[in-house]
Amino acid sequence: MLHGFVPWPDEFVRRYRNKGYWEGYSLPAVFGKLAATYPDRLAITEGSRRATHGEIWESSGALAVHLARRGLKKHDRVVFQLPNGIDFFICFLALTRIGAIPVMALPPHRETEIRHFVTSSEAVALFIPAVIKDFDYRLMANAVRAEAPSLAQVFVVGEALAGQRSVEDLLAHPVDPDELAKLDGRALDPGDVVLMLLSGGTTALPKLIARTHNDYVYNFKQSARVAGFNADTVFLAVLPMAHNYTLGSPGFLGALALGGRVVVPPKADGETVFGLVQKERVTAIAAAVPLVVLWLNDPALSRFDTSSLTVVQNGGARLSPELRSRLRQRLACQFQEVYGTAEGLLNMTRLDDPDDLILASSGAPICDDDEIRILDANDRDLPDGEAGELVVRGPYTIRGYYNAPEINAKAFTADGFYRMGDVVKKFGRTLVTEGRKKDLINRGGEKISTDEVENFVLKHPAVKGVAVVAMADEVFGEKACAFVTLKSGQSLSFEELKAFLLEQKIAKFKLPERLEILDEFPVSPAGKILRRDLRDMADARVAADKKT
Ligand code: DBH
């Protein structure tokens, strides 16, 4: 077992096995079995490229052998930053087949974040694309490697720089089938860690979420069942495949595991997406608030035949009843709200729920053994219908972050319930999210840690104090607004702040989208910054700007 992983207590291990949630086989074994049974079944379509289960299994096996030869082994952490596509799945499977642990970074992450993932996971390797939209990931990788002694190898999908390895080059060399058989023959412990996800982040730096084969296979299979996925499912993977939602909730792994196939669009606009829905007869899309808004306002939508669609999901941030209803009407398919977290718990509306739940609720847990409670400020249980903090224990919810005992003491209750950080009302098993306890900004599903961004802003020499808060936005729901106090005689423009933050090599989605300079912060009698007042101020100023 990986050191630093927090296991479930024995009693729960027994329960989850006995009830059949933990089936006892590894994540790659799920796809090995599919490849053996249906080698010629189409798995992923990416532009003009198509790959069957057999082809993907073969390539990932060959790559696994090459990686093992180059020293990668069980429990090695590998920061994984690939864009959506066939190669994503081949590389992901290759790593998990040798028991190495992909740490799922996202394409927008930049040097500062990648360095943190490498350092905190003690990664020995990095998987990156070559260049996307003028950004050269290979140069970033070299800069990270120069400062991170653990990072021995960089693997590039595409052309590699000197000292790096191209995945295509590796795959051009055939491998000895015996060598692969030997490698695949080494049984993986299904109770061991298969991958690490990044937390939505309330702390200055994202925490690592270690998920096991047993729990993650259950996560994607069970959520796929709740989404009605089957062998006829054609799943459109439009959001990042490295994110828990599109990875395994149910995501592309859930669609493939139940026998369906996956389509990867080159872009997320209405024309592209619905052109592909028509062409590939897509049945399911995992969307998020900004995409729904974009699509519903796109006249292109009416030009395409979308009759193949059976379900459109929304995850990341709650979708309003109005938009749920419009989506259902425009696309003539069912709507499904997915309220989940990379730490585990997934809630989904059921496809046959009554309309009031489909249109207004946050769904119910996907497993009967998800123990959910709503707690007051003193950790006492609240009755149904009263808003409090949602906490959860269950067969696919972690018992602790990787290697983070101090954080775990706060993020979990003494009896092992994970604190979701959301303010929620419960009605039986159905949940309705109301707000949030933790300090973060939910930018259309993308979680931004205010703490993290404040630390970056504070580095500016003109800045004395800062508070980053959520401001309401029609498309994203929330965006970040930075309130700043300045050192005497200093000035700071919005453009200067943005340029300064970009110089710190962080993901663009974290940048504040408004700057307000204050003489001093509104504070409580105890001297605490009144963030609620700042949020109201931000909303008032946005509204005032709109009028002029
Ligand atoms: O926001 C999330 O992190 C999220 C949303 C929907 C998630 O992790 C998931 C489904 O699995």
With a cut of 80, say whether residue 211 has pLDDT above it.
yes
**pLDDT tens-place string over residues 135-150:** 999 999 999 999 998 9
Counting residues of the chain whose pLDDT is more than 90, the rounded percentage is 94
User: Ligand 1: which atom is nearest the Cα of residue 200?
Assistant: 3
Hey, which of 197, 226, 341, 441 would you mutate to test ligand 1's pocket, going by the most ligand atoms within 8 Å of its Cβ?
341
Buried b (16+ CB within 10 A) or exposed e, 449-476: bbbbbbebbeebeebebbbbbbbebeeb
Given this model, what pLDDT does residue 435 score?
Answer: 86
Given this model, what pLDDT does residue 114 score?
Answer: 97
**pLDDT tens-place string over residues 16-35:** 999 999 999 999 999 999 99
Domain positions in the chain are 27-188, 441-542
| Model confidence band, residue 185 (pLDDT cutoffs 50, 70, 90) | confident
Task: Give ligand 1 pocket residues (Cβ under 6 A).
Answer: 200, 244-245, 249, 315-316, 338, 340-342, 346, 445
Residue 347 CA to ligand 1 centre (angstroms) = 9
Return the higher-pLDDT residue of 439 and 377.
377
**pLDDT tens-place string over residues 318-372:** 999 999 999 999 999 999 999 999 999 999 999 999 999 999 999 999 999 999 9
Hey, which of 198, 207, 245, 398 would you mutate to test ligand 1's pocket, going by the most ligand atoms within 8 Å of its Cβ?
245
- CA dihedral sign of residues 344, 269, 276, 324: positive
Given this model, what pLDDT does residue 407 score?
Answer: 94
**pLDDT tens-place string over residues 246-267:** 999 999 999 999 999 999 999 9
Query: Concatenated DSSP letters for 183-252?
Result: HHHSPPPTTSEEEEEE---SSSSPPEEEEEHHHHHHHHHHHHHHTT--TT-EEE--S-TTSHHHHHSSHH
Q: Give the residue, by CA position, lying nearest to ligand 1 atom 8.
A: 341
* Residues paired with residue 198 on neighbouring β-strands, in sequence order: 208
* Residues paired with residue 366 on neighbouring β-strands, in sequence order: none
User: Per-residue pLDDT averaged across 61-79, rounded?
Assistant: 97
Q: Give the residue, by CA position, lying nearest to ligand 1 atom 3.
A: 341
With a cut of 80, say whether residue 202 has pLDDT above it.
no
Q: Give the residue, by CA position, lying nearest to ligand 1 atom 11.
A: 245
Q: Which tokens go with 135?
A: 């950004």
| H-assigned helices in 401-493 | 405-411, 450-458
Contact predicate 388/38, CB 8 Å: no
Neighbours of 149 (CB within 10 A): 9
Residue 240 CA to ligand 1 centre (angstroms) = 12
Q: Give the residue, by CA position, lying nearest to ligand 1 atom 1.
A: 316
Residue 255 CA to ligand 1 centre (angstroms) = 16
**pLDDT tens-place string over residues 109-129:** 999 999 999 999 999 999 999
Compute the residue count for the chain: 548
Contact predicate 468/457, CB 8 Å: yes
User: Ligand 1: which atom is nearest the Cα of residue 338?
Assistant: 6
Neighbours of 115 (CB within 10 A): 20
Residue 251 CA to ligand 1 centre (angstroms) = 10
- CA dihedral sign of residues 159, 162, 164, 170: positive
Rg (C-alpha) for the chain, rounded Å, is 23
82 burial via Cβ count (<10 Å: 0-12, 13-18, 19+): buried
Q: Whole-prediction pTM value? A: 0.96
User: Per-residue pLDDT averaged across 38-56, rounded?
Assistant: 98
**pLDDT tens-place string over residues 434-493:** 988 888 999 999 999 999 999 999 999 999 999 999 999 989 999 999 999 999 999 999
With a cut of 90, say whether residue 404 has pLDDT above it.
yes
Q: How many degrees, rounded to 5, is the angle at CA 395 between CA 81 and CA 370?
A: 115
Given this model, what pLDDT does residue 524 score?
Answer: 86
* Amino acid sitting at position 274: F
Q: What CATH number is given for 27-188 in this structure?
A: 3.40.50.980
Q: In what order do the strands lie in the sheet with 193-198?
A: 165-166, 153-157, 125-129, 77-80, 101-104, 193-198, 208-212
Hey, which of 104, 249, 370, 431 would you mutate to test ligand 1's pocket, going by the most ligand atoms within 8 Å of its Cβ?
249
Given this model, what pLDDT does residue 175 score?
Answer: 95
Buried b (16+ CB within 10 A) or exposed e, 246-266: bbbbbbbbbbbbbbbbbbbbe
Taking all residues of the chain, what is their mean pLDDT, rounded to a whole number? Answer: 96
User: Per-residue pLDDT averaged across 214-242, rounded?
Assistant: 98
CATH class of 441-542: alpha beta
